[in-house]
């Protein structure tokens, strides 16, 4: 079982390397994001342990580029940051697990073995509605080959709509699936973000794929 460990804290990296070696893993260690990206793309690994705060290239940037190159090796993010949005960002970019420092070595080993048993499943295919294309793994959206820049909330809303093409989705359904359960604002926020999406995915291309069904909700159709 071959592991790539990308960790800039050299003492911690050495401790983890020795521990994993003692558990039967073969461990390659690098200490910056650029080297981590090179190693991940040039060598086959069963799992990658990737720190978030790295010199040279941020851990999220490394993860994003790994997935963009269609390398599906399981990735565990290892970081001192433990905010819920940090974890959400990691999973959205294609991470398979997330462990915060300080951590139990036994838990690390158990999770790595679980990831290796699971293997490297191919990530979700692109979602396509007419000429609109959304790639969940790369977090990329385009129409007719033109890249469309979206905020995380806009991306989440469009993903939900494109997973249900032709279906009328109510504001309540959209809130339940796109917004945090603790969100206390009114459902008018859905109207606001639908308007934002229209300005980005429809208006510049002279199409109208995102429609309002009066009294019922919203629907996305092929252009």
Q: How confident is the model at residue 83 (pLDDT cuts 50, 70, 90)?
A: very low
Model confidence band, residue 88 (pLDDT cutoffs 50, 70, 90): low
Q: Report domain extents, the chain.
A: 2-118, 127-220
Structure tokens at 57: 């290239």
Residues 6+ apart with CB under 8 A from 153: 178, 193
* pLDDT per position as a tens digit, 162-177: 988 999 999 988 888 7
In CATH, what number does 2-118 get? 3.40.50.2300
Is a pLDDT exceeding 80 seen at residue 180? no
Tokens 């398979």 -> residue? 96
pLDDT digits over 125-174, tens only? 678 999 999 987 678 899 999 999 998 889 889 988 998 899 999 998 88
Topology given in CATH for the domain delimited by 127-220: Arc Repressor Mutant, subunit A (1.10.10)
- pTM of the full predicted structure? 0.59
């Amino acid at each position: 079982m071959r592991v790539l460990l990308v960790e800039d804290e050299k003492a911690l990296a050495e401790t983890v390397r020795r521990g994993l070696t003692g558990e039967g893993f073969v461990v390659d260690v690098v200490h910056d994001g650029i080297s981590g990206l090179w190693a991940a793309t040039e060598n086959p690994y069963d799992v990658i342990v990737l720190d978030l705060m790295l010199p040279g290239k941020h851990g999220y940037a490394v993860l994003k580029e790994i997935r963009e190159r269609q390398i599906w090796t399981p990735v565990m993010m290892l970081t001192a940051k433990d905010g819920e949005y940090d974890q959400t960002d990691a999973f959205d970019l294609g991470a398979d697990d997330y462990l915060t420092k300080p951590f139990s070595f036994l838990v690390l080993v158990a999770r790595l073995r679980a990831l290796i048993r699971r293997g490297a499943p191919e990530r979700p295919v692109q979602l396509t509605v007419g000429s609109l294309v959304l790639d969940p793994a790369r977090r990329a959206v385009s129409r007719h080959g033109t890249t469309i820049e979206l905020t995380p909330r806009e991306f989440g809303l469009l993903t939900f709509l494109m997973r249900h093409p032709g279906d009328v989705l109510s504001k309540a359904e959209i809130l339940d699936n796109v917004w945090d359960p603790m969100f206390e604002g009114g459902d008018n926020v859905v109207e606001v973000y639908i308007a934002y999406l229209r300005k980005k995915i429809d208006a510049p291309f002279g199409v109208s794929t995102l429609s309002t069904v009066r009294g019922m909700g919203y629907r996305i159709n092929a252009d």
